[in-house]
């Protein structure tokens, strides 16, 4: 579909919607409709990849609702969001050093997370997608860990979820 006439229409819709949401302040978009129509297939992929990356960044940075309320325990989903953010950080000062989960997952597929971040920031669609898969796999793993500790009787099911998440990322499924 991306190579058909519909691909151009879909890209135009994405550009219009991104401008309505003021994403043109954060993502380089074509100035006008004529410039957008002149984009090559690779340039359209870059625009779509950059918009997608920015949306995923916004989603991951949103403070989970409820964590700001004193005295209210966060839900498992809110705790997972916090753990995912904490788990992303490399801790080279620890003894031994601790690698962040996204870096570990990137190395599991033969890549370095910093390279994926860089090319994702440039709008390389394949790496934007890979970064999203890594982020979702991290969430699944953290959710499984949280879920296992809060619901001990589902330990076997939770381990299966984590295994499927990791195997899916590495491409075994």
pLDDT, average across residues 5-23: 87
- Over the stretch 111-161, which tens digit does the pLDDT of each residue have? 999 999 999 888 889 999 999 999 888 878 776 766 665 554 444 444 445
Q: Are 136 and 166 in contact (CB under 8 A)?
A: no
Query: Can you give the pLDDT at residue 67?
Result: 46
Joined together, the tokens standing for residue 162 give 């984590």
In-domain check, residue 69 = no
106 shares a domain with 145: yes
Is pTM, for the whole model, over 0.75? Answer: no
154 shares a domain with 81: yes
For residues 119 and 134, give the distance between their C-alpha atoms in angstroms, rounded to a whole number: 14
Of the pLDDT bands very low, low, confident and very high (cuts 50, 70, 90), residue 32 is: confident
Place of tokens 């597929």: 109
Name every residue whose Cβ is closer than 8 Å to that of residue 134 and which is 6 or more positions away in sequence: 102, 105, 106, 113, 116, 169
In-domain check, residue 151 = yes
In-domain check, residue 37 = yes
Residue range of the domain that includes 28:
5-61
In-domain check, residue 70 = no
Query: Can you give the pLDDT at residue 116?
Result: 94
Count: domains in the chain:
2
Q: How many C-beta atoms surround the C-beta of residue 81 within 10 A?
A: 23
128 shares a domain with 80: yes
- When mean pLDDT is compared across 48-57, 92-101, 123-132, 154-163, the lowest value belongs to 154-163
Closest to 120 in 3D by CA, of 110, 112, 131, 111: 131
């Amino acid at each position: 579909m991306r190579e058909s006439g519909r691909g151009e229409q879909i890209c135009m819709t994405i550009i219009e919607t991104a401008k309505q949401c003021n994403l043109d302040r954060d993502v380089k978009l074509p100035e006008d409709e004529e410039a957008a129509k002149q984009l090559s297939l690779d340039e359209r992929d870059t625009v779509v990849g950059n918009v997608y990356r920015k949306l995923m960044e916004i989603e991951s940075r949103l403070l989970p609702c409820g964590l700001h309320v004193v005295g209210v325990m966060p839900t498992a989903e809110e705790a997972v969001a916090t753990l995912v953010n904490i788990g992303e950080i490399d801790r080279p000062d620890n003894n031994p050093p601790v690698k962040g989960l996204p870096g570990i997952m990137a190395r599991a597929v033969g890549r370095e997370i910093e390279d994926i971040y860089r090319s994702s920031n440039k709008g390389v669609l394949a790496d934007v997608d890979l970064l999203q898969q890594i982020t979702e796999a991290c969430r699944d793993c953290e959710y499984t860990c949280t879920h296992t500790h809060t619901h001990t009787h589902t330990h076997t099911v939770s381990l299966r979820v984590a295994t499927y998440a990791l195997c899916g990322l590495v491409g075994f499924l």
